[in-house]
Amino acid sequence: MANSKWSHTALLVIDMQNDFILDDGLMRVDGGKAIVPNVIKTVEMARQRGILVIWVVREHDPQGRDVELFRRHLYLPGKVGPTSKGSPGAELVDGLVIKEGDYKLVKTRFSAFFATHLHSFLQTAGIHSLVIAGVQTPNCIRQTVFDAVALDYQPVTVIVDATAAATPDIHLGMCSLVIWIHCCVMQIFMF
């Protein structure tokens, strides 16, 4: 049963896709595979509490026409680029499943808010606070968190052991940074 305490909260699960998580992923984040069990647990806990689960994924045009300039070289003719729409690399990693009532948001940049309808969707749903899980802390997690703070979501919580970066030092450094902008950082057992 949904708990009214959580009715204005959404969980953003960011970029938990094969190309970011699997050992042979085209944009593999070294710490990504280790957090999969905690991301699964975070999603389960959110659903039990009636928290809206939003799957934020990258899906790019197979020709790379919507990719940042610095990544366009990865989308050459005859080559499948990272998280190309319809490719196995764009699929959620095993164990993570979009269920009825969840929402999928496609992005093409670091922030889940940039050039998407996420803010409008959250406002319409009455969401005021966000919980963040996924990869990668210095890029998509950080940028989404900073934009959420700029848009006055309160609180914004990063689940430190359900997020990851290329190294533990980078990850912890980025988690320290979001504390400076008055976000919450907690381990899954505190959630």
Of the residues 19, 140, 175, 184, only one is catalytic, namely: 140
Question: What backbone torsions phi and psi does residue 160 show, to the nearest 5 degrees?
Answer: -65, -30
Q: Known catalytic residue: 15?
A: yes
- What are the distances in angstroms from CA 42 to CA 51, 109, 186? 11, 24, 12
Which of 191, 126, 128, 138 has the alpha carbon at shortest distance from 164?
A: 138
Of the residues 33, 66, 104, 107, only one is catalytic, namely: 107
Q: Known catalytic residue: 140?
A: yes
**Cα diameter, the chain:** 51
* Residue type for position 161: D
Of the residues 15, 19, 147, 161, only one is catalytic, namely: 15
In angstroms, rounded to a whole number, what is the distance separating the alpha carbons of residues 44 and 39?
9
Q: Known catalytic residue: 19?
A: no
Active site residues: 15, 107, 140
